[in-house]
Structure 1
């Protein structure tokens, strides 16, 4: 009887532990680690000038993906990245950056998106989240690169989880 009770207790404990298992895996990009949802269908990387890490969760083309890419060639209109992103998020028309660059970025990333800034520890994340289109988060990596995190299915909490804030 004691053995049966012990086996039942062990089975319940094992099932409880499995139910609480975190379904995220670590992904490394640009010298940083991120927590992405587990069970991707495919993971691919294009190095050199493209420098993209793509994690797919669907067999359908262009659906359910997370990508990390280096965006060092983003036209910031003569501003540093922090000033540029602050200009794109501001309703103020006096940018200090080239107006055409700011307006061009706004037309692609800001219109129709929930926008803002997350500050986590000593890092700043500029987010552009959309219900209809892919969503984006821009931030500077530890090695000084501008990183664009993109997904067509993550919500605010999902992005923050990937970035290690939840």
Structure 2
């Protein structure tokens, strides 16, 4: 009964869910993702960040994939795409140095990082053993930046989430 209520409730939000053979398709904002099938619960927080969470464990804080509209990262006055490229570059940053160094400290310590590109989107990933974050931007556009976080998926499984764009 609870699962039915949750599924009925989320149908009113700005995304939709539909099942595929091995993954669950998420249409979130302007994006299309594939997350692992059979989450224990899916929840949506009706905030400005439009947070969507899929949880795969009954233990608090474990096995989560979260999607949000990113409005909090200080890009030092740069467009998000330029900022993330500066963060990943070992040469002098194009953007505010303090913002770049702060971001590196939070997101790159003990994490694998890089870029996946596909179509008109770029995926800037920062993947660690206990927490991984991917920022999604559109090439050359001054559009929204989405953030996807997980505390249990491998790098390959996280990349598979974006398979419809790569």
Q: TM over 0.5: same fold?
A: yes
Q: Within 5 A, what are the aligned runs for 1:47-126?
A: 47-92=46-91, 94-126=92-124
CA–CA distance in 1 between the matches of 2:44 and 2:128? 25
Query: 1:31, 1:143 within 8 Å by CA — same for their partners in 2?
Result: no
Which sections of structure 2, spanning at least 5 residues, go unmatched? 1-19
In our comparison, the structure showing a higher alpha carbon Rg is 1
Query: 1:88, 1:110 within 8 Å by CA — same for their partners in 2?
Result: no
Give the RMSD, CA atoms, in angstroms: 1.9
CA–CA distance in 2 between the matches of 1:48 and 1:66? 17
Matched, 1:32 2:34: no
- TM-score by length of structure 1 reads 0.80
After superposition, give the CA deviation of every residue in 1:29-88 in whole Å (9 maximum; x if it has no partner).
113221111110000001232310000000111100100011123210111111110111
Query: How far 1:154 sits from its partner (Å)?
Result: 1.3
Structure with greater helix percent = 1
Query: How far 1:147 sits from its partner (Å)?
Result: 0.5
Query: 2:76, 2:95 within 8 Å by CA — same for their partners in 1?
Result: yes
Query: 1:30, 1:143 within 8 Å by CA — same for their partners in 2?
Result: no
CA–CA distance in 1 between the matches of 2:62 and 2:142? 30
**Matched residue of 2:95: which SS?**
coil
Query: 2:49, 2:70 within 8 Å by CA — same for their partners in 1?
Result: no
After superposition, give the CA deviation of every residue in 1:86-109 in whole Å (9 maximum; x if it has no partner).
1111111x2121111111100110
Match in the other structure for 1:164 = 163
Which sections of structure 1, spanning at least 5 residues, go unmatched? 1-20
How many residue pairs end up in the alignment?
144
CA–CA distance in 2 between the matches of 1:159 and 1:59? 21
